[in-house]
Amino acid sequence: MKIDLKGHTAVVTGGTSGIGLATAGLFLDAGANVSICGRDQGRLDEAAATLTELHPDAALLAVTCDVLDTDSVGNLVEKTVERFGGVDTLVNNAGQARVSNYENTSDEAWREELDLKFFGLLNPSRAFQPYLERSDAAAIVCASSMLARQPEPHLVATAAARAGQLSLIHSMARELAPKNIRINSILIGVVESAQWTRRYDALPEGKPAYADYLKEQAVAKGVPLGRFGKPEEAAMALFFLGTPLSSYTTGSTIDLSGGLSRHVG
C-alpha cells in the first residue's frame, strides 16, 4: 500500500539523527513537505544534505530550534508556516535518556529531565496547535519509551518522566479529540541511534566493535528478538500514527521493544 502525502506537512523535532531523521525520510518518501529541527547547526546541515541527496526534489526545511525554548519553537512554527502554509503532523521526537539512579540523581538533574520530557512535548504541541486545528488530517505523535510502563532503576528520572508524559498524552488525547487532533506515542525499547553511539564512544580502549557491542547489549537486556531495533522500524510506527493510516486511533501506543516489554495491556 502506498500513501500519497502531497500537500501534507510534517514537522519532526530532533530530526537530525536516529529515529527523527528516519521519520523525516519516510514522510519525504510519501511526498510530504517536511520541516526538521535540532539544536546544532552542523548536525542540522548534515541531516538536510543527507535527506536532499536521497530526495533531490524534497520540500525540506531545516531550522535550528531548542524545543525547550518557546521563542525558538515560535521561530520554527513561523518558518514552517511561511514555507508550507500549515502543519498536519507534529512528531515530538527530540530528546534523550538520562542514565542515573535514585541515589545519585541531583535535584537539578530531576528538574532537567522533567523539563525535557514535559516541555519538549508541551512547547511544540501548544505552538503548532492553531495550525493543526485547521488541518483535516491532524496528528501529534511522540517518540516515547517502554520505561513509561516498565521502569529501570538505572534510568530512574527518565522512567518517571516518561510515565508522567504518557499520562499527559492520554489527557491531551481526550481534550484534543473534539478539535480533530489525534495524539499517540510509540514506546521504544532499544533502537540504534546517536544516543547509543555516544554511549559506545565513551567506553574505554579495548571495547568490542560497535555491532558486537549492540548485540551484547541486546542479549544482556534480554531482548527476545535478540537485537536492537533500526531507526527505520521506529520511524514506520511514528509514520503510521502520524498519518491518516491510523485515523481512528488516539490516546494509544505502539510497542517498539522487540518483545522486551513485559507488561500486559
Name which of 97 and 141 has its Cβ closer to ligand NDP: 97
- Judged by CB under 6 A, which stretch of 16-24, 55-63, 81-89, 168-176 contacts ligand NDP? 16-24
Q: Measured between alpha carbons, how far is 72 from 66 in angstroms, rounded to an integer?
A: 6
The answer to whether 14 contacts ligand NDP (rule: CB under 6 A) is: yes
**Rounded to the nearest whole angstrom, what is the least distance from the CB of residue 180 to ligand NDP in the complex?**
26
Q: Does 52 bind ligand NDP (CB under 6 A)?
A: no
Site string for ligand NDP, 160-189 (x = CB under 6 A): ----------------------------x-
Q: Which is nearer to ligand NDP, 39 or 227 (CB)?
A: 39
Residue 66 interacting with ligand NDP (CB under 6 A): yes
201 makes contact with ligand NDP (CB under 6 A): no
Which residues, 68 to 127, sit near ligand NDP by CB under 6 A?
Answer: 68, 93-97
The residue behind cell 526538521 is 36
- Residue 211, number of CB atoms within 10 A of its CB: 11
16 in contact with ligand NDP (CB under 6 A): yes
Check binding of 250 to ligand NDP (CB under 6 A): no
Give the interface segment with ligand NDP, choosing from 10-18, 104-112, 199-207, 242-250 (CB under 6 A). Answer: 10-18
Going by C-beta distance under 8 Å and a sequence separation of 6 or more, which residues neighbour residue 261? 146, 149, 150, 187, 189, 255
Binding residue for ligand NDP, selected from 193, 243, 250, 253, defined by CB under 6 A:
193
Q: By CB under 6 A, is residue 24 in contact with ligand NDP?
A: no
Residues near ligand NDP (CB under 6 A): 13-14, 16-20, 37-40, 43, 65-68, 93-97, 143, 145, 188, 190-191, 193-195
